[in-house]
C-alpha cells in the first residue's frame, strides 16, 4: 500500500486557481463588484458600466457633476478599491 497526501479544500483550491491562471481575473471581478460597496448606493445608482483595462478601472457615470467630483477623488478610490480585495489590482480609475 501507499500513503496518500490528503489536503483540505482550503489548501488545494487557491493553488489550483493560481496554477490555472485564474487568480488575477478573479481578483479583478471582486474589485469590480466592490465598486458599489466602496462608493455607496447613490454613486452606484449613477454607474452605468465598469471594466478593467491595463490595470485601469474604467467607469461610465451618467451624471456629469458626479463624474467631475469622482475624478478629483481618483487616488482615494484606487486605494480603497485595492484594499477591499487585499491586492494591488488597479493603478488608476478613469471616468467616461
* pTM summary value: 0.84
The four Cα atoms 1, 8, 19, 3 give a dihedral, to 10 degrees, of -10
CA distance 80 to 88: 11
Residue by residue, pLDDT tens for the chain (96 residues) are: 677 888 889 988 888 988 998 999 999 999 999 999 999 999 999 999 999 999 999 999 999 999 999 999 999 999 999 999 999 999 999 999
Buried b (16+ CB within 10 A) or exposed e, 50-70: bebeeeebbbebeeeebeeeb
Whose grid coordinates read 486557481?
Answer: 17
Amino acid at each position: 500500500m501507499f500513503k496518500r497526501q490528503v489536503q483540505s479544500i482550503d489548501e488545494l483550491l487557491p493553488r489550483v486557481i493560481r496554477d490555472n491562471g485564474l487568480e488575477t481575473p478573479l481578483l479583478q471581478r471582486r474589485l469590480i463588484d466592490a465598486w458599489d460597496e466602496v462608493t455607496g448606493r447613490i454613486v452606484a445608482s449613477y454607474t452605468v458600466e465598469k471594466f478593467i483595462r491595463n490595470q485601469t478601472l474604467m467607469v461610465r457615470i451618467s451624471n456629469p457633476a458626479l463624474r467631475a467630483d469622482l475624478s478629483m477623488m481618483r487616488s482615494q478610490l484606487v486605494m480603497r478599491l485595492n484594499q477591499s480585495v487585499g491586492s494591488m489590482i488597479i493603478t488608476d480609475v478613469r471616468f467616461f
